[in-house]
């Protein structure tokens, strides 16, 4: 088995308004931390409803804030199209989240896969 670092993109689509959604987001962030601590190449992307989630959990009073802060340095950003549709682009930028727009105002998963990344969706 190779010791070469893995290349993984974790995409968070889930909201945090339900217990199920919050647990998916927590598991995504924990998985990201696991890869980060393992020395792998890891990108975290928020897409769909997950763009709203990124803004919500970036607030210090949110229960998932610590998990968010633990991986903040590997968060690539949020889908520009989706965050604009939710009228939260300014809030995302104030939270330090980049707006991703490589493919028609969306992140390009094709580019990630072409670069050798495995994509995990939560």
Q: Which domains does the chain have, with CATH numbers?
A: 7-121 (3.40.1260.10)
pLDDT at position 3 is 85
In tens, the pLDDT along 92-111 reads 999 999 999 999 999 999 99
Mean of the pLDDT values across residues 22-31?
A: 98
In tens, the pLDDT along 58-80 reads 999 999 999 999 999 999 999 99
Sheet with 7-12, side-by-side order of all strands: 99-100, 75-79, 41-46, 7-12, 118-121
Mean of the pLDDT values across residues 27-31?
A: 98
3-class DSSP state of 65: helix
CA 74 vs CA 20, 37, 78, 87: distances in Å = 24, 11, 12, 24
């Amino acid at each position: 088995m190779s010791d070469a670092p893995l290349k993984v993109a974790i995409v968070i689509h889930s909201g945090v308004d339900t217990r199920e959604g919050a647990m998916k987001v927590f598991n995504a962030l924990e998985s990201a931390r696991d890869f980060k601590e393992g020395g792998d190449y890891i990108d975290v992307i928020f897409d769909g409803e997950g763009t709203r989630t990124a803004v919500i959990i970036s607030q210090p009073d949110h229960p998932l804030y610590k998990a968010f802060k633990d991986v903040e340095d590997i968060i690539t950003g949020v889908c520009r199209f989706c965050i604009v549709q939710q009228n939260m682009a300014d809030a995302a930028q104030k939270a330090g989240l980049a707006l991703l727009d490589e493919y028609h105002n969306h992140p390009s998963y094709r580019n990630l896969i072409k670069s050798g990344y495995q994509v995990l969706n939560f």
